[in-house]
Structure formats: C-alpha cells, structure tokens
Amino acid sequence: MKILVTGGAGFIGGNYCHYMYEHHPEDTVVVLDALTYAGNLETLQPLMDQPNFKFVKGDIRDRELVDKLFAEEQFDAVINFAAESHVDRSVEYPSIFVETNVLGTQVLLDASRKYNVKRYHQVSTDEVYGDLPLDRKDLFFTEDTPLHTSSPYSASKASADLLVLAYYRTYKMPITISRCSNNYGAYQFPEKLIPLMISRALADESLPVYGNGANVRDWVHVYDHNSAVDLILRKGKIGEVYNIGGHNERTNLQVVETILSQLGKPESLIHYVKDRPGHDLRYAINPDKIMHELGWKPIYTFDTGMKETIQWYLDNKEWWEHIINGAYQNYYAEMYKDRQ
C-alpha cells in the first residue's frame, strides 16, 4: 500500500511514520508537510534514507501541487494529520486555522476523489464535541455526541469533519474519521502542556497553570493513537467515526505534579495564571466502539507513558532545545505576557 501522510513532520504524524516503519515496512509512506513552525525534519531524520519513505515539502492548501503529487504517486490511502493544532494560537490567529484545517482538507478530499484513493482518513479530535461538566464524572463523549465547539481550533476541526462526511454521503467517497483525546509522547512541540512543563521545570522556570488547574483532559500516548489510526485504516468501516481514548483523565494540576515529582523539582514552580478564554472544562472519551468493533487496546497506562515520555525529553534535549532557543522564545514572551 502507498500512503500519503500529511503533516508527517509534526508530532503525531511523525510518530505515525515511525510506527509504520516498525509495523508495516512493506508499505510506502509519502509525507506532505509545509514545515510550519510545528513541522520538524529532525523528527523524520532516521527514516529519510529508507527506500520506501519520501518527504515532500508542500502545503495542503496548494491545489496545483496536491493534484500533481496525486497524479504522480497514485496513492492507495491518504491520512490527513496536517493541521494548525494549538488552541491558544487559534484564539490569537483564527484565520490560518480555517484556511489549513478546513480549506486544506477540502483540497485533499477533491484530489482523493479525482484520483480514486481507496481510503481517505481524517485525523480529528474529541474537541469537536465541546466540553463536559467537571461534576458529572458519569458523562463521556460517544460518536453520537453532538458537535458543539468552543475554540476557533475545534470549530475548524468540526467543519473539516462535516466536509468529510458530506463527501461520503454525496460522492460515496471511502472515508473514515477518528476523534482522539489529548496526546502525549516523544517529539511533541513544547507549546503543549506536557513538553512545555517538562522543559520549563528542567530550567527551573515557573510553570504557567491556567485558571485553578482543575480542567480535565483524557490523555492518550501517541503510540496508542497511531495504532488506532492504523487499525481504522486497515479494518475500519467506510463512513464511520471512531473515538479514541483510554480512560486516563487527569486534572492539569495532577499532570504538572506528576512531572515535578519525576524530575525532583519543587511544587513552588507552579504559577497560576490568567485562564484561557473559552477554556473547555473536561474531555472524556468513551472508546467502546473502537475497542469492541475493531479490537483496539492501548498498551500504555498514564503512569508508564508519562515515565517513558519524561525520560525521552531528558534523553533528547537537543531536539527540543533547538526549538525553544529559536523563534519560540518570542512566541512564549508574546503569548504569556498578559497572563501574569
């Protein structure tokens, strides 16, 4: 099988390429990535010389480039990981989220239709369901939960999902969609909670916890997310949506405390800052469908996954130090200046 992996130089797409090399070396992977601030070729370095791996720098919004690539490569499947992915950035700069996440998805759908791709898989998020109250631990997102978005990021992802479903209904395109909860693991850009807190704690810098730290996220190791995406690609039913999650709900404060304790750093580093506007309270996935219908099972618990992840950031400092020593410094100063 020849698979187009868009956004393959990012966190989850990059880990998917490593997953493919480990589990399906017989398949060919072509990455299409615009190398925005979030794309990093160092993540793909170990794969660059493999015979059935190819990297193409390009934008999913570029219709001409995408059409030419599809004509040349004749993909069997497309997995669309490419997106603007950070909620805080979407609050400041919503337009690029609509352009990449909605219009970019449409370009890929049109090309997949024109070149008869056998499967188009859209990597979506549980954030399309909005949030759940903190005091109703009995509530979970299922695939039937209505879309009810809060941020420009989640609204753009939900819009893309609706387009994908429209192409299924209208053109009978062979699509699937996955909606995963928060990921963590190696190669995550240090603007996201876990790598941000690890890198700052190691430098003895303050850890900016939004609001009172009571917001809840349902954490999935990136390996488990990718094993689910791969399973859906190979065994999922056309036209279906699958939620991905492992019942690993933690408050943000619990996550930060776990990091501090493993790094042997004091809790006095925690600094409560102004809350994110529209901050979703709780995400929690019901993963019964993918577990029962496709037999998916995560291999990580939050404890084993966090131990391994923190160790990875300790062992791979040069990967994230390149990032935080560059343009990222300006981002942090700009993004957090009004939160103090």
Q: Name which of ligand NAD, ligand TYD, none residue 123 binds, using a CB cut-off of 5 to 8 Å depending on partner kind.
A: ligand NAD
DSSP type of residue 45? G
Tokens of 78: 């497309």
Q: Name which of ligand TYD, ligand NAD, none residue 104 binds, using a CB cut-off of 5 to 8 Å depending on partner kind.
A: ligand NAD
Can you tell me which residue has the tokens 């966090």? 306
Burial of 318 (0-12, 13-18, 19+ CB in 10 A): exposed
Q: Which is nearer to ligand TYD, 43 or 188 (CB)?
A: 188
List the catalytic residue out of 59, 84, 88, 126: 126
Q: Name which of ligand NAD, ligand TYD, none residue 199 binds, using a CB cut-off of 5 to 8 Å depending on partner kind.
A: none
Q: Which is nearer to ligand TYD, 192 or 225 (CB)?
A: 192
Nearest approach in angstroms of CB 115 to ligand TYD is 33
Binds ligand NAD (CB under 6 A): choice among 104, 246, 287, 298:
104
Tokens of 219: 């954490």
> Is residue 126 annotated as a catalytic residue, yes or no?
yes
Q: Does residue 173 interact with ligand NAD by CB under 6 A? A: no
The residue type of 4 is L
DSSP type of residue 273? E
Give the whole-angstrom CA distance, residue 134 versus residue 215: 8
Can you tell me which residue has the tokens 């990535």? 33
DSSP type of residue 116? T
Q: Please write down the HEC assignment for all residues of 242-291.
A: EEECCCCEEEHHHHHHHHHHHHCCCHHHEEEECCCCCCCCECCECCHHHH
Considering only residues 196 to 225 of the shown chain, the ones binding ligand NAD according to CB under 6 A are none
Q: Name which of ligand NAD, ligand TYD, none residue 175 binds, using a CB cut-off of 5 to 8 Å depending on partner kind.
A: none
Tokens of 126: 């549980």
Residue 118: count of CB within 10 angstroms of its CB: 12
Bridge-based pairing of strands 249-251 and 216-218 is: antiparallel
> Is residue 127 annotated as a catalytic residue, yes or no?
yes
Nearest approach in angstroms of CB 165 to ligand NAD is 16
> Is residue 240 annotated as a catalytic residue, yes or no?
no
Q: Name which of ligand NAD, ligand TYD, none residue 33 binds, using a CB cut-off of 5 to 8 Å depending on partner kind.
A: ligand NAD
* Binding region for ligand TYD (CB under 6 A) out of 19-27, 76-84, 103-111, 190-198: 190-198
Q: Does residue 61 interact with ligand NAD by CB under 6 A? A: yes
Binds ligand NAD (CB under 6 A): choice among 17, 34, 207, 241:
34
List the catalytic residue out of 120, 153, 167, 168: 153
Complete edge-to-edge strand list for the sheet that includes strand 28-33: 53-57, 28-33, 2-6, 77-80, 119-125, 175-180, 241-244
How far CA 132 is from CA of 66, 139, 141, 164, 308, in Å, comes to: 38, 7, 8, 25, 29
Q: Which residues bind ligand TYD (CB under 6 A)?
A: 87, 182, 192-193, 196, 208-210, 215, 217, 252, 276
Catalytic residue numbers? 126-127, 153
Given the rule CB under 6 A, which residues bind ligand NAD? 6-7, 9-13, 33-36, 38-39, 59-61, 81-85, 100, 104, 123, 125, 157, 180, 182-183, 189
